[in-house]
Amino acid sequence: AQSVTQLGSHVSVSEGALVLLRCNYSSSVPPYLFWYVQYPNQGLQLLLKYTTGATLVKGINGFEAEFKKSETSFHLTKPSAHMSDAAEYFCAASSASKIIFGSGTRLSIRP
């Protein structure tokens, strides 16, 4: 069965520092992959998605993710963190008309 693993339930970075949120999936066939962000008491907002083609995917708010089939990874990065990036981030993979979510990573930004 498809599964998604997010390493680190909580990541804290300084404002202006690199953001790296890790995600690995388990599947013999590369699925569609997604990153969603959730601000407190709000729904999930799609940051970016990988379907086919270019392995480096650019999303909203300056985020990007790289699909690496050999490592079954889809890590999310942003070169310079902003205070407004503080939120919960979910990595997800499609599987049989469903989306399988990782457990989430809470990103905190230190002033």
Do β-strands 33-38 and 19-26 pair in parallel, antiparallel, or remain unpaired? unpaired
Q: CB-wise, 81 or 93, nearer to other proteins?
A: 93
- Of 10, 17, 15, 57, give the one whose Cα is nearest residue 33: 57
Q: Does 86 interact with other proteins (rule: CB under 8 A)? A: no
* Pairwise CA distance, residues 19 & 38, whole Å: 16
- Of 71, 31, 22, give the one whose Cα is nearest residue 52: 31
Q: CB-wise, 8 or 16, nearer to other proteins?
A: 8
- To other proteins, the closest distance from the beta carbon of 75 in angstroms equals 18
User: Could you give phi then psi for residue 71, rounded to 5 degrees?
Assistant: -105, 0
The encoded tokens of residue 83 equal 């205070």
Q: CB-wise, 40 or 111, nearer to other proteins?
A: 40
- Per-residue contact flags (x/-) with other proteins for residues 50 to 79, judged by CB under 8 A: -x----------------------------
- Residues in contact with other proteins by CB under 8 A are 32, 34, 36, 41-46, 49, 51, 90, 94, 97-99, 101-104
